Chain A
Amino acid sequence: MNSAADLSLFEAAAALRSGTLTSRALVEAVLQRIATREKLHAFTHIATNALAQADGADAQLKRGEDPGPLCGIPMAVKDLIDVAGQPATSGSRVLAGRIAGRDADVIAKLRDQGAVLIGKLATYEFAMVGPDMNLADPPARNPWNLNHITGGSSSGAASAVAAGLVRLAIGTDTGGSIRSPAAYCGCVGLKPSYERVSRTGAFPLSSSLDHMGPLAATVAEAALALDVMTESASWRPASSMIGQSIEGLRVGFARSWFADDPKASPAVIRAMDDVAATFSMLGAQVSLIDLPDYAPYEAAASIILHAEALAEHAALIARAQAAYGRPTLQCLAFGAVISEEDLAMARRAVQPLTAAMLSAMANVDVMLTATTLTAALPFSAFDGEKAVWTPMRTIAFNLTGQPALSLPCGFENGLPLGAQLVANIGAEDMLCRVGHAFEQATDFSVQRPPF
């Protein structure tokens, strides 16, 4: 261990309380780490008051006040989410120069705990599509290979966590925007149950599908962060079962859901088979399960997403259309073909689609499937003129509102792969219990890209 920046949230919290570390020293170490890895373009802004925030946390702890486990801990926030006093452009020239007047709800919760909000992270423009090389902020790069994408839209968040710049970042997920970059970059991404975390203060992409959640170095750290971010005490704490054995738990392996797709990389299939074998070795009862066809989930979600996104952007399009990136404006334009009847029909499909998914998972505690079907593509696969979609298995759970966790599970040609665990609504505790057990049995979460 050479730098305080490498301390886990738990180690840092303990050191801050024992007096062996100050928040100022921790933040200085993190800022130094960020400065040495600027080529990642993970950060779009470093808070000018980061050290002042750290001093405030140190003073609180010195007075014996302890507002919570994240006091004095540096973390960063996707630039789709408002942090008072910091730039809030949603990665777009459309909002150039905008400074957030107040914290998003979730940021206020973190700030109340004394968290040090050290800066803003790159995002695909308005969380819509990317990478776009022609925006004001260059796209974040994959820390395992700078010539490859991070995935998105929480692109800077995944890059920053995976590269060890921060242990924790806050992102958003409308169709996989936390989980797919987490998988591509090699960190943990947790999309919670719908409405577990307030969305107020984040620029909406599609309010029916939008979720906020953490990207973290480990499952336990993601669970800790989610518990702080959670809106109401009625949700079971995500961290409450961390460390418990998974012996006897039922893991449904939805192998055909990704392996039967010709786009699935053989390396992904092999890695997922190894994940299932690891769960068996840990005593879980692993069985193959069949999920409903993915295509209707993707179809209904795409209709809802494009219709809601275009409605959300109507005023900005009227005012500043020329400032949009080309791929983003084109994607918004897709939504013009969705009639009110089409949208109503897609919304009608949500209930039976959700019921079918829950029914397919009725006899398991968690479901296991791939997050993405390949490793991260190279930038050269994107021409910047139009959107290119990468195959993944994520948006179904934005539609059903179930919690889903992506965690590192292997490599293909030196690039990380991600396994996805999904549970019933409100069962983040089960997800994190199973995910943590996998981490403890393997070494994927401790591997870091070479710098």
Chain B
Amino acid sequence: MTELDEKQFKHLLEQKGLKLDDKGFDAALQGARNLKAEVARVAAYLASHADKKS
């Protein structure tokens, strides 16, 4: 999984109408990266669950 970069995140925030100052952006980017890691974790869980079922 490639790490979410600043440009991508800025674009996603713009799509949602969110405007953060630099300090807020840095903190939010860190949290967003952590959340993306959670997405990978759930994907791995589902894959392993499917393996166990098959």
Please give the residue numbers on chain A whose beta carbons come within 8 Å of chain B beta carbons, in ascending order.
295-296, 298-300, 302-303, 306, 310, 314, 317-318, 321, 326, 329-338, 342, 345-346, 348-349, 352-353, 385-387
Instruction: For the complex of A and B, list the 9 residue pairs with the smallest distance between their C-beta atoms, beginning with the closest.
Output: A299-B38, A386-B27, A333-B28, A296-B45, A336-B12, A299-B41, A334-B31, A337-B32, A330-B28
B9 and A349 form a contact (CB under 8 A): no
Nearest Cβ in chain A — how far from B41, in angstroms?
4
Bound complex: CA A53 to CA B12 (Å):
49
29 sampled A-B residue pairs with Cβ under 8 A: A296-B45, A299-B39, A299-B45, A300-B38, A303-B35, A303-B39, A303-B42, A321-B17, A321-B19, A326-B24, A329-B24, A331-B31, A333-B18, A333-B24, A333-B28, A333-B31, A334-B31, A334-B32, A336-B13, A337-B9, A338-B35, A342-B39, A345-B43, A346-B42, A348-B46, A349-B45, A385-B23, A386-B30, A387-B27
A317 CB contact (under 8 Å) in B16, B31, B34, B46: B16
Which partner residue on chain A sits nearest B43 by CB separation? Answer: A345
User: Is B2 interfacial (CB 8 A cutoff)?
Assistant: no
Q: Which label, helix, strand, loop or mixed, suits the secondary structure of the A interface? A: helix
Q: Which of A317, A318, A336, A345 has the most CB of B within 10 A?
A: A336
> How big is chain B's contact interface, by range?
20 to 34
- B35 contacts which chain A residues (CB < 8 A)? 302-303, 306, 334-335, 337-338
Bound complex: CA A368 to CA B30 (Å):
34
User: Is B54 interfacial (CB 8 A cutoff)?
Assistant: no
B18 CB contact (under 8 Å) in A317, A338, A387: A317
Nearest Cβ in chain B — how far from A297, in angstroms?
9
Nearest Cβ in chain A — how far from B35, in angstroms?
5
- A306 contacts which chain B residues (CB < 8 A)? 35
Q: A330-B20, A334-B35 given as contacts; is B46 within 8 A of A349 (CB)?
A: yes
Bound complex: CA A386 to CA B25 (Å):
10
- B34 contacts which chain A residues (CB < 8 A)? 334
